[in-house]
Chains A and B, each alone.
Chain A
Amino acid sequence: DIQMTQSPSSLSASVGDRVTITCRASQSIRNYLNWYQQKPGKAPKLLIYAVSSLQSGVPSRFSGSGSGTDFTLTISSLQPEDFATYFCQQSYSKRTFGQGTKVEFK
């Protein structure tokens, strides 16, 4: 099965910071890569699909890039509502999530 590894597992940042989260697949997944945001006690929310396509209603400060095995989620200017946990997910073969990256307030 395809393994997804995110880094870092957690990070501390301030409002206005640029934040980058990486996700590495154990084999090429082409562009079958999606990103989700989850807040405590809530269901995940789709942010980005197919590596870089922004889901409707998601602010443009979120962006994604990458291909093959290495992918990145970037938040250009962190806002108070962005403190959450972020997960990457592949749909190339079955489905797998990364272990998550918790973005905390510095």
Chain B
Amino acid sequence: EVQLVESGGDLVQPGGSLRLSCAASGFIVSSNYMSWVRQAPGKGLEWVSIIYSGGSTHYADSVRGRLTISRDNSKNTLYLQMSSLRAEDTAVYYCARSIVGDTTDYFDHWGQGTLVTVSS
């Protein structure tokens, strides 16, 4: 069974740092596209970052240079290193696995989310 379990969310001051983890089971993280998607309180979904099976990465303009996606193959875990945090980064952060179809890829499994609150 595919499972994704996020952890690491916390209350952090503006300008601070945090690392989120997403422990995967039932599949191999490094063989899949993996993303972070966030949702500010009462708002919609915002895609944050993706790491492809080959290791290349992409970021939303709103986080580029401050958030870094990575993975540890030995732990089958996805990470999001967050630095220079701002109030607008406050959100529930979900990790999600993508399935690559004939054309589009799509998020078929999601974690339960972890809350990051940026406030003084």
Which residues in A have their C-beta under 8 angstroms from that of B35? Answer: 95
Q: Is the interface of B mostly helix, strand, loop or mixed?
A: strand
- Asked if A63 is at the interface of the complex by the 8 Å CB criterion, the answer is no
A14 at the interface (CB under 8 A from B): no
Q: Is B74 located at the chain interface by the 8 A CB criterion?
A: no
Q: Which residue of A lies closest to B107 (CB)?
A: A46
Q: Which residues of A approach B to under 8 Å, CB–CB?
A: 1, 30-34, 36, 38, 43-46, 49-50, 53, 55, 85, 87, 89, 91-92, 94-100
Given A44-B45, A44-B110, A50-B106, 4 further pairs, Cβ under 8 A: A38-B45, A50-B101, A91-B98, A94-B60
Q: How many B residues face the partner with a CB closer than 8 A?
A: 25
B47 near A34 with CB under 8 A, answer no
Name B95's closest neighbour in chain A (CB-CB): A43
Report the minimum CB–CB distance from B114 to chain A (whole Å). Answer: 11
B108 in the interface, Cβ–Cβ < 8 Å? yes
